Structure 1
Amino acid sequence: MRSDLRHGFLPALPVVLAVLALSGCKFAPAYQVPSFEMAPAYKENALWQQASPAEPSAVPEAWWTMFGDAELNRLQDLAAAGNQTLAGTLAQLRIAQAALDASRAPLLPTLGVNAGGTRSKTGSASSGTVDANGNVVGNTSARPRNVFTLQASASWELDLWGRISSGVDVANARVQASADDLAAARLSMQASLAQTYFAVRAAEAQLAVLDDTIAAYERSLQLTRNRYTSGVASAADVAQAESQLYSTRAQRLESALSRAQLEHALAALLGRAPADFTLAPTASLPEAPVVPVALPAALLQRRPDIAAAERRVAAANAQIGVARAGFFPALTLSSAVGYRSSTLSDIASAPNLFWSIGPALALSLPVFDGGALRAAVNSADANVQAAAATYRQTVVTALQEVEDNLVAAAALQEELGVQQQALVAAQKALDVTNNQYRAGIVSYLNVVTAQSTVLSARRSLLDVRNRRLVAVNILLKNIGGTWGAVRG
C-alpha cells in the first residue's frame, strides 16, 4: 500500500469501525401478532371445536375433487391456466418480489466504471513584451487541451439505524402478503367456479323436471279434451289444463335463459369469450361431501386472507423503523481510483494515477422540518393500528362465515330429507286425485292443484340440493380447502 494512501486512511479507521459497530441497529418495535379474544365456545358448538394453535398450512391442492365430478375437475384446471383475475394477482406478486430485490440492493456496495474524454479551450492570447525594435515577443495563444479519464468508483451506505434493513423487512412482509393474496384469489376463484358449475347443473336438472312435467301436462290436456268431447268434462277443465301447460312452458323458457347466462359466467371464469365455450348438458347434480361431526378451529389458520392481513400488520410495524431512522444521519463510504491524461495512448501510466477514499459523511439531520419526520412516525404508528384492526375484522368475518355455513350445511341436510318426504306425499296425492278425476268424483281443479304441488316439490328438492352444495362449497372455502388432514 502506498504510504500516502495508508496515512490518509488510518486516521479514519476508528470512525469506520465505530459506525460499523452501530450498523444493524433498528428502531422498529418488536413485532407481535395482534391478539384476538376468542370465545370459550362457539355458537354452533356441536359442529365446531376449539383447537390449539398450529403452524399455518397451505391451501390443499384440488380440494374440489371431494365433490367427485370429473367435469368440475376439468374446468378447474382450465380456470387455473386462463383466469385473468389470477393472472393479474400473480403480476402483483411479481411486482412485490421486484420491490423486495430493490430494497436489498443498498445493503451491498455500489461499484461503477466510467470512461470519458473532453477537449476544451480556456482564456485568450497572452500578451508578450516589446523589444527595442518595437516587435512583440513571447506572444502565445491558448491552445485546445484534451483530457481523457478512466475511473472506477465504489460507495456504500452503512445501515447504521436500520433504515435499509427495516425497508427490507417491509418489502419482505409485503411479498408474503402478496403471495397470500394470490392464494386467496385462487381459492375464491375455485369456489366461485364450483358454485357456478353447480348452478348450471341445477338449472339443467330443473329443465329436465319441467320437460317431464310438460309431457305429463300435454297428456292431461289431451285426456281432458277427449273427456270434453265425450261430454264428461267441461270447457273450464280444458282451459285450466291449457293454462297450466302454457305456464309451465314459460317456466321452462326462464330456466333455459338462466342456464345460458350461467354458462356465460363459467366462460368468463375460465378467461374465455362465451362464444368459445360450451358445456355439455346433463340432468344430474353432484353429491355434496359429508360434513364431519366436528371441525377443529385450527383450520382457520390456513385461510390465506387471514395470513395476508397478518403480514400487512408486520409490514406496517417494520415501516415504523424506517420512519424513525429518518431522524438520524446517513453515512456513506466512498472511494475512487483511475487515470487522467491529456493523451489517450499513455493514460494508464503511473504518473497519471489519481485516487480518493472516504468515509464521506452525508449528514441529513434537519434542524427544523415543520414536524414532517414526526408526522411520518405518527402515520406509521397509525398504519399499524389500522392494519391490526383489519386483521381482527378479517378473523371475525371468517368466524361468522364458518358458523353460517356450518349451520346451513346441517340444516339443509335435514331439510333435504323432509323435502324428499314431501315429494313422495305429493306424488301419492296426485295419483289418488287422477283416479278420482277419472271416476268423476272430483273436478279438474283438484288435478291441477295436485300437479302443481308435485312440480313445486320436485323443484324445491332440486333447490335444496343445490343450496346444500353451495353451503358445503363455501364452508370448504371458509376453512381453506378441506376439513381433513392436508395431503402433500
Structure 2
Amino acid sequence: MQEVEAPIEQPENFSSSGASEIQEEWWTSLNDPTLNQLIDTALVKNFELAGSWEQFQASIASVKVQRSFLFPDIQAEARTGISRPEPDFAGGENSQVGLSAAYEVDLWGRIRSGVEAEEFRAQASFYDYQAAAMTVSAETALNWYRLVAARKELELIEEQIETNQNILKLLRARYTSGQIRAVDILRQEQLLESTRNQKIFFETNVTLIENQLAVLLGTPPQNFTKIPEANFPELPALPQTGLPLELARRRPDLKRAYSLVLAADRDMAVAIRSKYPSISLNLSAQARSNDFNSLFQDWAYTLAGNIVGPIIYGGRLNADVGRTEAIKNQRLYEYGQTVLVAFREVEDALVRELKQKERISTLEKQLDLAVKTNKQLKLSFLNGLTDYLDVLIALGQEQQLQRDLINARQELIEFRISLYRALAGSFDTERETQIEDIEYLEE
C-alpha cells in the first residue's frame, strides 16, 4: 500500500499520558461484568451494526465484479428454427451452436487500477463497520453508566423525600407549641414538593435510558429485562496515549478516510489510462447445419483483434481526469480533517478527565462543609438562635450537592469512555471471525 501523508503540520506529543496499555476491547479495562455482557450482546444483535456489515458484504461483491474484467468473458449460444415449406429453404440455417470469448488486454493497467480502487473502497467499508462497532460499544457503555447514575439519583431523591417529610413533621409539632411560624412550614412543604417533582424526573430518566439500552441491544423496549443495580467502577490508571500519528494506524475511522484517499487515487489512474488505446481479442467457434443430427460435423472459427484509440472526444477524457483529481484532493483534505478531529478528541478527553477530578474533589469538600453547616444550623434552630430559613437554605444546598456529586462521578466515567474511544483501535467481532474475505483486505 502506498503511503499518503495527511496534509497537516507535524504534531507534537499529547499533553499527558498514562502508563497502562489500552486493550483492544477497551471496556474490559473497567472490570465491570455487566458492561461486558451488555456490549457482547450489542455487538451481535444491534441492527445498525448488522446493516453496516451487510454494506461491507456488498463492497466485497463489487470487488469480485471488478476483478472479473481481468478474465475473458466466455459465453455459449444455441439457436434452432424450423422453416416451411422445406424445399424453399433448403439452403437456410435451421440450427446453430457456438462458443465465443472476449478479452480486453490490460496493456496500461486501467482495469487493474479499477480493481484496486474497489479494493480500497471495500477496505473503507470494512473500517466503517469497525468504527460502527466502536460507536455501538461506546454508546452501550455510556447508557449503562447513565442508568447507574439515574438509579443512584432516584435512590438519593427518595432518601431526601423521607428526610424532608421527617423535618416537616418536626416543624408541625413545634408549630403547635408556638415555637415556629407558619411560613416555615410552608417553605418546608415547598422543598418537599420540589424533591417529589425531581423524583418524577429521575423515574422518567431511568425508563428512557432503559429504552435506549434496549434498542442498542436489538430488543423491543417493552421486552427489556431489568438489569440488576450496580455501582460506578473504580477507574483504572490513565492509558498510554502514544504518539499522535499512531492513531492513523489504529483508529478505524482514520483508516477508512485513508483508504478513500487511495481509492480516489486509483480512480484518477483509471481516468488517465482511459486516454490510451485499448486492445481487445474476440474468439468464436460455431457449428451450423440444416439437419440437427449433423450439427456438430462442421465448425467455423473466428479470431479477431481490435485496437481502439481515442482521438476526438470533445475534451471528455481530460475533464474526467480533472474531476477524479479534484475528488482525490477532496478525500485527502477530508483525511487531514479527520486526523485533526481525532487529535482534538484525545486532547479534549484528557483535559476533561483531569478537570473533572478536580471538580469532584471540590464538590466533595463543598458537601462536607454543607453537612457540617447544616448540622450547626439545625442545633442553632432547635435552641432558638437562628431562623428556619437559614436551615432550609442549607438543607437545599446539601441535597443539591449530593445530586451534583453523583452526576459529576458519572461524567468522569463518560470522559474516560471518550478517551478510550479516541485512543482505541479496532477489535474483532463475531462476524469478522466467520468470513475469509477480510484477509486480503487487511494485507
Q: TM-score, normalised by structure 2?
A: 0.89
Match for residue 299 of structure 2 among 329, 353, 378: 353
Match for residue 303 of structure 1 among 251, 261, 268: 251
Shift in Å, 1:251: 0.9
Matches within 5 A, 1:165-184: 165-184=112-131
User: 2:267: which partner in 1?
Assistant: 319
What amino acid maps onto 1:369 in structure 2? Y
Shift in Å, 1:143: 5.4
Distance 1:257 1:147, change over 3 A: same
Pairing 1:341–2:285 present: no
What amino acid maps onto 1:392 in structure 2? G
Deviates more, 1:208-217 or 1:384-393: 208-217
Matches within 5 A, 1:46-65: 46-47=16-17, 61-65=24-28
Match for residue 318 of structure 2 among 360, 374, 377: 374
Shift in Å, 1:175: 0.8
Pairing 1:330–2:273 present: no
What amino acid maps onto 2:333 in structure 1? A
Matches within 5 A, 1:114-133: 114-120=77-83
Match for residue 261 of structure 1 among 208, 212, 225: 208
CA contact (8 A) 1:48 1:296 kept: no
CA contact (8 A) 2:42 2:216 kept: yes
What amino acid maps onto 1:244 in structure 2? L
Shift in Å, 1:281: 5.2
Distance 1:202 1:142 in 2: 91
Distance 2:230 2:169 in 1: 27
CA contact (8 A) 1:173 1:314 kept: yes
Pairing 1:90–2:53 present: yes
Distance 1:356 1:121 in 2: 31
What amino acid maps onto 2:132 in structure 1? A
1:28-58 Cα shifts (integer Å, max 9, x gaps): xx9541344445535x624489xxxxxxxxx
Matches within 5 A, 1:24-39: 31-39=2-10
Cα RMSD between the aligned structures? 2.4
Distance 1:193 1:200 in 2: 11
- Determine which structure has more spread, i.e. the larger CA radius of gyration: 1
Pairing 1:433–2:380 present: no
Shift in Å, 1:150: 2.3
Instruction: Figure out how many residues of one structure are paired with residues of the other and give that number.
Output: 423
Pairing 1:401–2:364 present: no
Matches within 5 A, 1:66-105: 66-105=29-68
Distance 2:131 2:348 in 1: 20
CA contact (8 A) 1:205 1:282 kept: no
Match for residue 225 of structure 1 among 166, 172, 180: 172
> Aligned to 2:98, what secondary structure does the other structure show?
strand
Deviates more, 1:224-233 or 1:114-123: 114-123
Distance 1:47 1:216 in 2: 44
Deviates more, 1:261-270 or 1:205-214: 261-270
What amino acid maps onto 1:428 in structure 2? K
Q: Percent identity?
A: 30
What amino acid maps onto 1:373 in structure 2? L
Distance 1:37 1:367 in 2: 41
Distance 1:423 1:481, change over 3 A: farther
User: 1:26: which partner in 2?
Assistant: none
Shift in Å, 1:283: 6.1
> Aligned to 1:331, what secondary structure does the other structure show?
strand
Match for residue 280 of structure 1 among 208, 211, 227: 227
CA contact (8 A) 2:12 2:244 kept: no
Shift in Å, 1:462: 0.9
Query: Unpaired runs of 5+ in structure 2?
Result: 427-443
Shift in Å, 1:294: 6.0
What amino acid maps onto 1:70 in structure 2? P
Shift in Å, 1:295: 4.3
Distance 1:107 1:247 in 2: 74
Distance 1:119 1:145, change over 3 A: farther
Higher helix content, 1 or 2? 2
CA contact (8 A) 2:138 2:421 kept: yes
Shift in Å, 1:78: 1.6
User: 2:195: which partner in 1?
Assistant: 248
> Aligned to 1:190, what secondary structure does the other structure show?
helix
Q: TM-score, normalised by structure 1?
A: 0.82
User: 2:156: which partner in 1?
Assistant: 209
Distance 1:182 1:418, change over 3 A: same
User: 2:388: which partner in 1?
Assistant: 444
